[in-house]
A and B are shown apart, each in its own frame.
Chain A
Amino acid sequence: MARIDIGEVSLEVTITGEGPSLLFLHGGDYFAQNRVFLDRLAGCWRVIAPRHPGFGGSVRPDGFRSVHDLAYLYLDLLEQQSLGDAVLVGSSFGGWVALEMCVRSVERIGRLALIDTLGVKFAGREQRDIADIYALPADEVLRRTFFAPERVAPDYAELDDAEAASIASDRAATALYGWRPYMHDPGLRRWLRRVRVPTLVIWGQSDGIVSPDYGERLCRSLPDARFELIREAGHYPQIERPDPVADAIERFAHAEVKS
């Protein structure tokens, strides 16, 4: 585990693999379960996977509390590490951060892959785009999150103190950034036209947190995006089916390089 300091933020970062740069932004939960997917990506890229401030061992400074702060932080990270033409991959909450980055600047971003991303409000005020994970029973949240929960869900009773504390921190930080407005930025939809970068929108076919319909609508709202559905996967397809998701990203990156 490396540590990178950006301004007053001390980030816990996983860096693995060699090749062109890929920045992976994680979702609100199941951070550890991304490992197989990241190792797979490391076959083609130098993968940089920071833990967001407030999550795990990354320190969140006082007053650092919005998704906008995260977007500027990671734009700074690209700049500080002199990364150019990077592949940016965001899952769920991390996809929201990725979109917030891209509406600000795509100068150092070559391609964008969004996996079951949230952050945009499409439906009316009485319709919910994003399942209220804080108001649903835990077993229903789990069923909505994974196609096959029994294969993925950790046995929390088996965790040691540090692992359990790390997950508790992740959940508290997700709430801090995303509680209200719930998991979206009301102004983001207006600026999606600024995501002027080839984009692949990947979605788990059985996502019960944000539906594939939402994903297709997000895809249509972006200037240069195409949509790919992953079968037998829920909200975190890269966790349930790391190979097809990594394949899709590789194909997408390769095709764009050729073109």
Chain B
Amino acid sequence: MKVWHFSEMAYHPAWPELQDSYRVVIPNRLYDPKIGADLYHRYLDEWALCDELGINIMTNEHHATATCADSVCTIPMAILARETKHVRLLALGMPIGNRNDPIRVAEEYSMLDVISRGRIEMGFVKGVPFEISPANTNPADLIERFWEAHDLILKAMTTHDGPFNWEGTHFHYRQVNVWPRPWQEPHPPVWMPVGSPGSAMEAAEHGMTIGVLNTGWVRTPPIFEAYRKRAAEAARPMTPQRLAYMALIGVGNTREEGWRRADQILDYSRTSGIVAPQFMNPPGYASVAQSAQALRTSGAGFRAGRIQSRDGRSIDPRRMTVAGAIDAGLSFAGTPDDVFDQLHAFYDHVGGFGHLLMMGQGGLLSHEETVANLTLFSKAVLPRLEGLGE
């Protein structure tokens, strides 16, 4: 099993100032660049450490938010492409339906792939609903735009006798000619985060690796099962490496220490969903049936019930405890044995997967604690994962 360390590079010093929304409408006077610089450097140091620990690196991006100060996922990757030598680099990823220039995305990923000598894995993200406003992209045809950008980026990265012409519905270029070409042939592996069986099936048809985030014990199995079934129908090669699961991981020399770390990382879950309701379901983003349901329940229906306990109760992430998160399958925490046992039980429950996306830092977990968390994981858990999900 491959393990990837993920942090949202949170700008947590602003959190005490925030109440109803942590996103979209919060003014950046709450951001102090001097504190922000220190935070960027420590998060980058933690990723750089992963190169020594044998843990791969994952970045993501969000916009206009204090929960994730990584607004361009390829920028930390650009730094790490040179600063690291061994581990693989996953950007999960680029919101290609919200970016207006897919060729620029192809150029960024290709440059990163060459500089890192072929260590890039490229994520294409549809984007959560509250990313629509910062980009001011049309929510009603986001999916159409996502797939056109996907097709164009892959064609641009795999065409070596260009230029070629692209006059599509959303994107228009007459001389597509991406330099440099990527290091990996035919192109870096493609990932997509998914949150539903329907999206998993689409990813399976395209042979993408899926990253499943915050779906837990109840929602993960049908997503993985839909992927496996559709991959078989579409005659796509199916291996556990097509499936990735994200968990918040706190490991310590004692259970108490591991739980304390997990508790701080859980501030990610407690804050990241706090968004003013008008940005939660832009019209046309969700299906007509989902939006109709949200209309009848004053918006409460949409995205509610995303976090569920093992026995199917809806959990309010703002009040989630470590015990609750472990029960929900969102967190693996405790001693190395605890973490391994919880992970293994989850692995068996969902039918296996090849990648563990480890949120090893989140919220206020300090640099020293993060280093201790990652280091202990790499020494006492990682070796036991060999052979799992291969």
Chain A interface residues toward B at CB < 8 A:
63, 65, 134-138, 156-157, 159, 161, 164-165, 167-169, 171-176, 179-180
Q: Nearest-CB distance from B136 to chain A (Å)?
A: 6
Scan B272-296; emit 1 where CB is below 8 A from any A CB, else 0. Answer: 0000111100111000110111011
Q: Does residue B137 face the partner (Cβ distance < 8 Å to A)?
A: yes
Whether A179 contacts B288 by the Cβ 8 Å rule is: no
Asked whether B288 lies within 8 Å of A172 as measured between CB atoms, the reply is yes
Bound complex: CA A168 to CA B284 (Å): 8
Tell me the smallest distance from the CB of B284 to a CB of chain A, in Å: 4
Cβ–Cβ < 8 Å partners of A63 in chain B: 169
Residue of A nearest to B291 (CB): A168
Residues of A contacting B133 in the complex (Cβ-Cβ under 8 angstroms): 134-135
Q: Are A137 and B277 within 8 A (Cβ)?
A: yes
5 closest residue pairs by CB, A with B = A172-B284, A164-B292, A176-B140, A168-B291, A171-B283
Indicate if B298 sits at the interface (CB-CB under 8 A): yes
A65-B141, A176-B138 are known contacts. Are A157 and B296 too (CB-CB below 8 A)? yes
CB pair A172 B276 closer than 8 Å? no
Chain B residues with CB under 8 A of A157: 296-298
Q: Please state if B292 and A171 are interface contacts (CB–CB under 8 Å).
A: no
The answer to whether A175 touches B292 (Cβ under 8 A) is: no
Q: How far is the CA of A175 from the CA of B278 in the complex (A)?
A: 14
Is B360 an interface position by the 8 A CB rule?
no
The CA of A167 and the CA of B141, in the complex, are separated in Å by: 18
Determine if B288 and A137 form an interchain contact, defined as CB atoms under 8 angstroms apart. no
Number of interface residues of B (CB under 8 A): 27
B278 x A167 contact (CB < 8 A): no
> A175 vs B133: C-alpha distance in the bound complex, in angstroms?
12
In Å, the complex CA distance between A135 and B24 comes to 9
Contacts of A137 in B (CB 8 A): 276-278
Instruction: Give Cα distance in the complex from A63 to B148, angstroms.
Output: 14
Please give, as numbers and ranges, the residues of chain B lying within 8 Å of A138 by CB-CB distance.
277-278, 298-299
A137→B299 CA distance, assembly (Å): 11
CA distance A137 to B277 in the complex (A): 7
Q: Could you tell me the distance in whole angstroms from the C-beta of B206 to the nearest C-beta in chain A?
A: 21
Asked whether A134 lies within 8 Å of B283 as measured between CB atoms, the reply is yes
Which of B25, B288, B299 has the most C-beta atoms of chain A within 10 angstroms of its own C-beta? B288
> A164 — nearest CB in chain B belongs to which residue?
B292
**A/B interface sample: 22 pairs, CB < 8 A:** A134-B282, A135-B279, A137-B276, A138-B277, A138-B278, A138-B298, A157-B298, A159-B292, A161-B292, A164-B293, A165-B292, A168-B291, A171-B283, A172-B140, A172-B284, A172-B291, A174-B283, A175-B138, A175-B139, A175-B282, A176-B138, A179-B136
Q: Which residues of B contact A180 (CB under 8 A)?
A: 136-138
Closest chain A residue to B284 by CB distance? Answer: A172
Nearest Cβ distance between residue B141 and chain A, in whole angstroms? Answer: 6
Q: What string of 1s and 0s marks CB contacts (under 8 Å) between B7-46 and chain A?
A: 0000000000000000011000000000000000000000
Q: Once bound together, how far apart are the Cα atoms of A63 and B282, in whole Å? A: 21
Q: Are B140 and A175 in contact (CB under 8 A)?
A: yes
B282, closest chain A residue (CB) = A134
B 126-146 to A, binary, CB cutoff 8 A, 1 in contact else 0 = 000000010011111100000
Q: Name A137's closest neighbour in chain B (CB-CB).
A: B278
In the complex, the answer to whether B295 meets A159 with C-beta atoms within 8 Å is: yes
Chain A residues within 8 Å of B138, by CB: 175-176, 179-180
Check A156–B298 contact: CB distance below 8 A.
yes
Rounded to whole Å, the gap between the CB of A147 and the closest CB of chain B is 22
The reply to whether A173 and B296 contact each other, CB–CB distance below 8 Å, is no
Residues 236-276 of chain B: 1 if any A CB is under 8 Å from the residue's CB, otherwise 0? 00000000000000000000000000000000000000001
List residues of B (310-363) whose CB comes within 8 Å of A's CBs: none
A134–B24 CA distance with the chains assembled, in angstroms: 12
Cβ A136 vs Cβ B297 within 8 A: no
Q: A138-B277, A169-B288 are in contact. List 4 more A-B contacts (CB 8 A).
A: A138-B298, A138-B299, A164-B293, A165-B292
Chain B 169-188 interface 0/1 with A at a Cβ cutoff of 8 Å (1 = within): 10000000000000000000
Bound complex: CA A224 to CA B385 (Å): 78
* A165 and B141 contact, Cβ closer than 8 Å, known pairs A137-B278, A171-B284: no
- In the assembled complex, the Cα of A156 lies from the Cα of B293 at a distance in Å of 10
What residues on B are CB-neighbors of A167 within 8 Å? 292, 295
Query: Given the complex of chains A and B, what is the CA–CA distance between A180 and B100 in angstroms?
Result: 13
**In the complex, what residues of A have CB within 8 A of residue B283's CB?**
134, 168, 171-172, 174-175
From B133, which residue of chain A is reached at the shortest CB distance? A135
Contact bitstring B46-80, A, C-beta under 8 A = 1, else 0: 00000000000000000000000000000000000
**Please, which residues of chain A bring their CB within 8 A of the CB of B279?**
135
- Cβ A168 vs Cβ B295 within 8 A: yes
Task: Output the residue of B25, B140, B283, B296 with the most chain A CB within 10 A.
Answer: B283
**Distance, CA A180 to CA B283, complexed state (A):** 13
Which residue among A159, A169, A171, A173 has the maximum number of chain B CB atoms within 10 Å of its CB? A171
Residue among B137, B169, B278, B298 with the most chain A CB within 10 A? B278
Shortest distance from the beta carbon of B278 to any chain A beta carbon, whole Å = 6
Contacts of B139 in A (CB 8 A): 175, 179
Give Cα distance in the complex from A65 to B293, angstroms: 25
The answer to whether A134 and B278 touch across the interface, beta carbons within 8 angstroms, is yes
Q: What are the residues of chain B within 8 A of A176 when measuring CB–CB? A: 138, 140-141, 284
Q: A159 to B298, alpha carbons, bound, how many Å?
A: 12
Chain B: minimal CB distance from A174 (Å): 7
Q: Nearest residue in B to A169 (C-beta to C-beta)?
A: B288
Instruction: Report A179 CB to chain B, min CB distance, Å.
Output: 4
A65 to B284, CA, bound (A): 13
Q: In the complex, how many angstroms separate the beta carbon of A125 from the nearest chain B beta carbon? A: 14
Inter-chain contacts of B141 with A (CB < 8 A): 65, 176
